[in-house]
Structure 1
Amino acid sequence: MTVMTLERPARAVAADTIPSPCAIVELRRYALHPGRRETLIELFDREFVHTQEDCGMRVLGQFRDLDAPDDFVWLRGFSNMAERREALAAFYGGPVWRRHRDAANATMQDSSNVLLLRNVQTAATHAARPGMLLAVVCQLDAPATPLLVHRFEHEVRPCLQAAGMEVQAVLMTEHAPNDFPALPVRTDTEALVWICRFDSAAHQLDCADRLFASAIWRDAVWPRWLSQLSAAPQMFRLQPTAGSAWR
């Protein structure tokens, strides 16, 4: 395996340069009409990946939720908020979206569950074969503080790693105003999100068993972390589609 940051697509830059990282990330969770997920995935992978990237954004990955058969989850990134506004205007005002938007929208019940996040740390692994991701969304009563991030890095992350969990991204709520109001984002929650990659669903369960077998995690780190949240964390097991860059 080689390690890459979640950056602008390599084909857009010379091979000997380092692309700018995606400072801004949207975590988009769509509730679809029953039985329509494969229709959207086929359309998305075929029409909406390279065309969005041609407009200046990065489609980081798209996924089936393993525990919600009618949910589709995807992430896209931008260098900054100004680039986000320009890229979204270019894509949603462009010919590809106009041609396919009715077919895409016909699969969806709700596309408003969107978290606008700031990249704290990403180091996604470019795997030779697809595995699965686990996204953990921690809801907070107030914006994530440097102390909370410090506690994640020095208390939570070491336990995850000791259990064999590969943390590939840490993100928290971005507070800049959404200056592309045609695509609303959630403003009802503060969040800190981490994403781990596993080789398979069985691998994820094995790592979870090892994690909760640890007395330090079970009796100290996890209860202390939960005490800082406004609700129990939401956990999403995500299987990459065939066209997903994040695998």
Structure 2
Amino acid sequence: MTVLTDRDGTDGGIRPKANAPGPSIVELRRYRLHPGKRETLIDLFDREFVETQEAVGMRVIGQFRDLDAPNDFVWLRGFSDMPSRAAALQTFYTGPVWAAHRDVANGTMINSDNVLLLRPAAPQAGFAAPAEERLHVAGPQGQPGLIVATICYLAPRTDEAFATFFGESLQPILRRASATVLAAFVTERSPNTFPRLPVREGETVFAWFSSFPSLPAYESHLAALAQSDEWVSKALPEMDRRTWRPNEVSRLMPTGRSLLHG
């Protein structure tokens, strides 16, 4: 398959191809780490596991520190389809880069099986091809902003109806309250094509990702929603009726090399 990035010979950065399609399969991966080991994993990941995964056919969409879980590392990885996912994962996890660094990586983790397999909720609802270059591993750090991931847990086979509800009712209100809605996903129900890496099966979720330039900007967004009668009196009760338990909301601070940022 087409490699999704090009090296920029002027400054050592990584420049995404403008015509690269967004991935149709996305893994939302959350790793629970041993206390104090998150920066060790982030340093290793950003240095060794970004270009090397993309070289075999994946897209590293974003990697994050969870502001509310100091021992969690969250990241997003994309694929063009399920068969290519199997091939890319097989190549990477049997290859020399993973062999050289797996002991250090695995040594930071308590578990790595909290993984949702997702697909775009509509044809244009996935992550767009990034328009900016990824910072070089040794380059200056930018302003990462904030990514907010919201996961809604639904009754089986209700995700498509919820996607319609989100697009027609929730998303316009979120945008009027200054959120940039980046992408929305539903559960990918295909069997796991790489069983060596487990995923959470048998769940039905809807997940959306929003970006904000800063944490104060996100707090202003929440204040605007709280003042919106349309949100408080109509959207929230309807969302509560459609979900099985409270939404899971994660405030994610991108690492220095994350393509996805606020």
Question: Normalising to structure 1: TM-score of the pair?
Answer: 0.92
Contact (CA 8 Å) 2:159, 2:186: kept in 1 or not?
no
**Residues 126-146 of structure 1: per-residue CA shift (max 9 Å, x gap):** 577421100000011213443
Matches within 5 A, 1:4-83: 9-11=4-6, 18-83=19-84
RMSD of the alignment, in Å? 2.0
Superposition deviation, residue 18 in structure 1 = 2.1
Instruction: Report the equivalent of 2:212.
Output: 198
Is 1:175 aligned to residue 189 of structure 2?
yes
Instruction: Report the equivalent of 1:88.
Output: 89
Q: Which runs of 5+ in 2 are unaligned?
A: 8-14, 133-141
Instruction: Report the equivalent of 1:122.
Output: 126
Superposition deviation, residue 190 in structure 1 = 1.1
Letter of the structure 1 residue corresponding to residue 225 of structure 2 = L
Contact (CA 8 Å) 2:4, 2:16: kept in 1 or not?
no
Q: Which runs of 5+ in 1 are unaligned?
A: 1-6
Say which SS state the counterpart of residue 227 (structure 1) adopts.
helix
The match for 1:137 among 151, 158, 182 is: 151
Say which SS state the counterpart of residue 6 (structure 2) adopts.
helix
- Provide the aligned length of Structure 1 versus Structure 2: 240
Contact (CA 8 Å) 1:8, 1:21: kept in 2 or not?
no
List 4+ stretches of structure 1 deviating above 4 A.
Answer: 14-17, 123-128
Instruction: Report the equivalent of 1:211.
Output: 225
Mark the CA change 1:126 to 1:240 in structure 2 (over 3 Å): closer, same or farther: farther
Is 1:105 aligned to residue 109 of structure 2?
no
Distance in 2 between residues matched to 1:20 and 1:214, nearest whole Å: 36
Say which SS state the counterpart of residue 232 (structure 1) adopts.
coil
Distance in 1 between residues matched to 2:54 and 2:143, nearest whole Å: 23
Mark the CA change 1:57 to 1:201 in structure 2 (over 3 Å): closer, same or farther: same
Distance in 2 between residues matched to 1:21 and 1:245, nearest whole Å: 13
Distance in 1 between residues matched to 2:159 and 2:72, nearest whole Å: 31
Mark the CA change 1:50 to 1:16 in structure 2 (over 3 Å): closer, same or farther: closer
Superposition deviation, residue 17 in structure 1 = 6.7
Distance in 2 between residues matched to 1:52 and 1:15, nearest whole Å: 14
